Structure 1
Amino acid sequence: MASMLDGCTPWPEEFVDRYWAVGHWRGNTLDNLMRGWALQYGPRTALVHGETRLTYAALNRRVDRMAAGFRLRGLRPGQRVVVQLPNVPEFVVTAFALMRAGAVAVFCPLAHPASGVAELVRVTQAVGYVASSAHEAFDHTALAADVAARWPFLRRVFTLEAPGASSPYGGLSTDPSGCQYSPLGSIDAAPEPALAQSADQVAFFLLADGDAAEPRLVPRTHDDVAYQARAAAESVALTEDDVYLAALPGASPFALGGPGIVGTLSVGGTVVLAESPDPAGCLPAVERERVTVTSLVPDVARLWLDALPTVQADVSSLRLVQLGGPPPHDVSPHDVSPQRAVAERIGAAFGCRLQQVFGMAEGVFTLTGPAAPDASALATQGRPLSPDDQIRIVDADGRNVPDGEAGELLARGPYTLRGYYRAPERNARAFTADGYFRTGHLARRTADGDLVVTGRLHS
């Protein structure tokens, strides 16, 4: 994995050889997979957002032209670009276009504080920033101007809309520090020959949960993301007839590849993008688009369940609701967790199957199987997605604990990172000597082999 970015930790060669030998990693970059999907599913609908509908062929053309536009604007392979966009088609197009241009997206949550965005730019030495010019009354253009003045390597800002008149440089294309501002829609050029890229390169960075002042950046490679999304799609029997509603942020690991957006596109299904998880918009979208699969966190699922009698949308098309999210900090094995309480309502209210999921930006991913008995589906987070995921549950001294006892969950596998980006001191604490990731979560294994994630270690 010599082609990995400087500051990233590669998988050891023996594991690389193993993941290749069994077919987990197949050497295709995500943007090259997009080309294949366009050929295979060309006229089918890939993305829906309000009245906007994009076919696979049209999506790939937009990716091609935006990638050429980014390269024309000076973006070079390996350079980082912070992306802070809502669930709109431009989010998907931008993500794949940056990959096709060889640049590396740094996905940033919309709610991330301004100071945290500035720190992301600093840590990654990002040369570009993609955002709405303003979102929910927050002026991202003004934020970009402030960050560019502090960090001179940020020189290209691309806004979803033209910068507003209220922003510091609303009427200008370049600010006094030399940073260039461009509407994202103007990033369009005649497609160029494809770059030679390797699937073991970093496709994008995800931001792990934690303190915005000390960001933990997770490098995800084309190979590991493609495998996770493909395996997750297979685990829920996703087909081209499925319609996935991305109600959670598209840049979250759950909505991105569990199977999420990437997994749905990989089978020729349709992705419906919702800018907000608000049930007033999402439940009618389920009815209108005949959504079959979606993924929720407990708080959002509770809102949907409470709103269903009022909204009165027909949600009978749903066949699967995935439920995941961070576990509570302290739950006794004898207590009913908030997630369990919500899980027990979903099947009856939506008339569909429930799947519990535990996933992290770092790549750890477990889920209940489609044929799991109710006791497992309601009360556990199932089993690892990959047969090559290695899971340990250990005590404070690093010794394995017996089934039924709680301990810290450790993991390593074909989509679990081997190190945070440019964080040697943190990595020394977060990983064991033999490469297991210390998740910081407490879990226990049932007698049947299922995992129950019960809380988090106290820091």
Structure 2
Amino acid sequence: MPMAATASAPMSGNQRGAPVALRPRESSRNVTHIATEPPPPLPSGLTPWPTGTAARYVASGHWDGRTLGTLLRDWTAEYGDRLAIVAGSERLTYRQLDERADRMAAGLADLGIRAGDRVLVQLPNSGAFPVLLFALARLGAIPALTLPAHRITEIGHLARLSEAVAYVIADEYAGFDYRELAAAVQAEAPGLRHVLVAGDPGPYTALAKVDTEPRDFPDPDPADIALLLVSGGTTGVPKLIPRTHNDYGYNARASAEACELSAGTVYLACLPIAHNFPLACPGMLGTLSVGGRVVLSPSPAPGDAFPLIEAERVTHTALVPPLIPLWTDAAEWDPADISSLRVLQAGGSKLAADLARTIPDALGCSVQQVFGMAEGLLNYTRSDDDSETVALTQGRPLSDDDELRIVDGSGQDVAPGEVGELLVRGPYTLRGYYRAPEVNATAFTPDGFYCSGDLVRRLPSGHLIVEGRVKDTIDRNGESVSAEEVEAHVTAHPQVRRCAAVGLPDAGQGERICAVVVPDGPSAPTLQALRAFLLERGVAAFKLPDRVEPVTDLPLTAIGKIDKRSLVRMLEERDRA
């Protein structure tokens, strides 16, 4: 996820193969590169940090031994009757949020949900989400946070992978009935014992009735899994990203500090709250950590967001770059007073420098670039960066213990300033995907560096500039869509023999998905027919092609792979003709 910093002193040269840990206000330092076998996964599915590394993070204060449930208890003790959550007509103080989480935790336990059980969560931005999140943390159960846009293809896979015992949904959202989806998911995952519905439960259990007198539960291990995030998808199916209580608490707390949040912060969560970006970068959790207020918007559309900014005097929010022109255009005619907005974070895909430069005048606020990933590493521009650094770079690492390498195709460190793949390890970057040993064998180096797939170059100040992706993904509306997954679904159509999915630049969406197909028969399916077919297969709407382009054959590279660069050039030439 491409996700404001005082320029540090020029970096010293590093030995080839030596990872670099970037300190926010110091030059980089060389770190001994020791190849060690990663520790085996725990029974929970977590690949732990090596013992010595974990001890270092504890000693440094990064990991403070508190669970997410304990954090809410501590915040309540400090901020008690301050307003914590605003969601429609619902307004919860810290104390009310804490009490409701306790009551729901007890209700979940009465259903037979136990510590370590996985619970699929697919809720829109609503008051039910924070209550459920903290209730599960209190109980020690593990939420797997899915997105409202996911459908049977993703949810069925995630239900099986996580072995979830419960599934929490809205009744309807954006015209879609999630109760019908739940029936399909239960058919594929018979271990799913409970479906809990926020709203009209239909044949299932109303989430509002999962409520009983509070009781104490043993604290889970803060070094174990707190929640599972869903990967953006660079392979055929999404992966689950385990985040621990220790590392995710630090993620939110350190982000709040870097972004200069305070008790006066009013954060508008208008992106889906189950995304890492609005959840903890610094997002909802970072805002609550300093006593601020979180306002949940049903969508990022200006018609939903602008009235909330005016009514709640919102100070901070986050958007993916394709949405920003919608806001800057709307600001010219929308009567809502958005003058309280101080900071707009831009992340999820690379923000164009020209667009970044327009934001202060158009919206009356500063812009903060955020480049990061649900797997861990976060980079922010800081408030005292000059305007061109904010416009041109995607920030620099959050932590003094973030270790970065930038390598070429053979795994060797590139020369300073050159483009290469970003490798990272640190106190909030995972050491392995959840129950994915085959993926982990290639996604991580033997000494624990995560291979991000992002192509970056690093400036002497430590700031990063994102130059693209190694892996085959399409960044559409802030979502990282696996080209391989799109190709697999499109090829299942009876009129398609072969398919290559490519991204084409688009000012509104970032990239459009173009399915270049070799027909199996006299003609290829129309775009309308193909999209209907994919929806019938349960493919999420954000993965549907925007264009179908038939060809007689797909060009190949010298080593026999589909030459997607040639395809993009061909499509661009056709568009110019």
Q: Percent identity?
A: 48
Give the Cα–Cα distance (whole angstroms) in 2 for the partners of residues 383 and 87 of structure 1.
29
Quick one: which of 30, 41, 45 aligns to 2:79? 41
2:468 — aligned with what?
A: 455
Quick one: which of 210, 216, 240 aligns to 1:217? 240
Offset of 1:141 from its aligned partner?
Answer: 1.3
Give the Cα–Cα distance (whole angstroms) in 2 for the partners of residues 422 and 414 of structure 1.
21
Give the Cα–Cα distance (whole angstroms) in 1 for the partners of residues 355 and 152 of structure 2.
33
> CA deviation digits over 1:347-395, x for unaligned, max 9?
1122222111001110111111110111211110111000000011110
User: Would you say the 8 A contact 2:86–2:293 is kept in 1?
Assistant: yes
1:419 — aligned with what?
A: 432
Give the Cα–Cα distance (whole angstroms) in 2 for the partners of residues 213 and 128 of structure 1.
25
Give the Cα–Cα distance (whole angstroms) in 2 for the partners of residues 127 and 143 of structure 1.
16
SS at match of 1:65: helix
> CA deviation digits over 1:213-253, x for unaligned, max 9?
52211000011111011111111221111100001111111
Give the Cα–Cα distance (whole angstroms) in 2 for the partners of residues 354 and 211 of structure 1.
28
Give the Cα–Cα distance (whole angstroms) in 2 for the partners of residues 399 and 39 of structure 1.
50
**Which runs of 5 or more structure 1 residues have no equivalent in the other structure?**
164-169, 173-180, 328-337
Offset of 1:17 from its aligned partner?
Answer: 0.8
Quick one: which of 29, 37, 40 aligns to 2:67? 29
User: Would you say the 8 A contact 1:113–1:212 is kept in 2?
Assistant: no
Q: Where do residues 238-249 of structure 1 align in structure 2 (5 Å cutoff)?
A: 238-249=261-272
Question: Is 1:192 paired with 2:215?
Answer: yes
1:134 — aligned with what?
A: 172
SS at match of 2:119: strand
1:331 — aligned with what?
A: none
1:234 — aligned with what?
A: 257
User: Would you say the 8 A contact 2:298–2:304 is kept in 1?
Assistant: no
Offset of 1:4 from its aligned partner?
Answer: 4.8
1:302 — aligned with what?
A: 325
Quick one: which of 44, 51, 54 aligns to 2:89? 51
1:340 — aligned with what?
A: 353
Question: Is 1:387 paired with 2:392?
Answer: no
SS at match of 1:162: coil
The structure-2 alpha-carbon separation of the partners of 1:374 and 1:11, relative to structure 1 and needing over 3 Å to count, comes to same
Give the Cα–Cα distance (whole angstroms) in 1 for the partners of residues 86 and 454 of structure 2.
36
2:420 — aligned with what?
A: 407
The structure-2 alpha-carbon separation of the partners of 1:42 and 1:458, relative to structure 1 and needing over 3 Å to count, comes to closer
1:257 — aligned with what?
A: 280
Letter in 2 for 1:454: E
Quick one: which of 113, 122, 126 aligns to 1:75? 113
> CA deviation digits over 1:305-338, x for unaligned, max 9?
11111213222211211111124xxxxxxxxxx5
1:122 — aligned with what?
A: 160
User: With structure 2 as the length reference, what TM-score do the two structures score?
Assistant: 0.73
> CA deviation digits over 1:118-172, x for unaligned, max 9?
1100011100000112222322112212221232210100001123xxxxxx3x4
1:94 — aligned with what?
A: 132
Q: CA RMSD in A?
A: 1.5
**Which runs of 5 or more structure 2 residues have no equivalent in the other structure?**
1-38, 473-577
Quick one: which of 283, 289, 313 aligns to 2:336? 313
Q: With a CA cutoff of 8 Å and minimum separation of 6, indicate the structure with the bigger relative contact order.
A: 2
The structure-2 alpha-carbon separation of the partners of 1:438 and 1:2, relative to structure 1 and needing over 3 Å to count, comes to closer
Offset of 1:449 from its aligned partner?
Answer: 2.1
SS at match of 1:448: coil
Give the Cα–Cα distance (whole angstroms) in 2 for the partners of residues 317 and 99 of structure 1.
33
Give the Cα–Cα distance (whole angstroms) in 2 for the partners of residues 197 and 450 of structure 1.
37
Question: Is 1:18 paired with 2:56?
Answer: yes
The structure-2 alpha-carbon separation of the partners of 1:5 and 1:240, relative to structure 1 and needing over 3 Å to count, comes to farther
1:378 — aligned with what?
A: 391
User: Would you say the 8 A contact 1:3–1:200 is kept in 2?
Assistant: no
SS at match of 1:342: helix
Letter in 2 for 1:456: R
State the structure with more CA Rg. 2
Q: Where do residues 168-179 of structure 1 align in structure 2 (5 Å cutoff)?
A: 170=202, 172=203
Give the Cα–Cα distance (whole angstroms) in 2 for the partners of residues 154 and 194 of structure 1.
23
> CA deviation digits over 1:270-315, x for unaligned, max 9?
0000010001110121111111111111012221111111213222
SS at match of 2:242: strand
Letter in 1 for 2:60: V
User: Would you say the 8 A contact 2:341–2:364 is kept in 1?
Assistant: yes
> CA deviation digits over 1:65-110, x for unaligned, max 9?
0000000111011010000000101011111111111110000011
User: Would you say the 8 A contact 2:321–2:349 is kept in 1?
Assistant: no
Question: Is 1:207 paired with 2:207?
Answer: no
User: Would you say the 8 A contact 1:107–1:251 is kept in 2?
Assistant: yes
Give the Cα–Cα distance (whole angstroms) in 1 for the partners of residues 300 and 230 of structure 2.
20
Offset of 1:433 from its aligned partner?
Answer: 1.2
Give the Cα–Cα distance (whole angstroms) in 1 for the partners of residues 89 and 150 of structure 2.
28
Letter in 2 for 1:354: V
User: Would you say the 8 A contact 2:115–2:220 is kept in 1?
Assistant: no
Letter in 1 for 2:295: V
Offset of 1:197 from its aligned partner?
Answer: 1.8
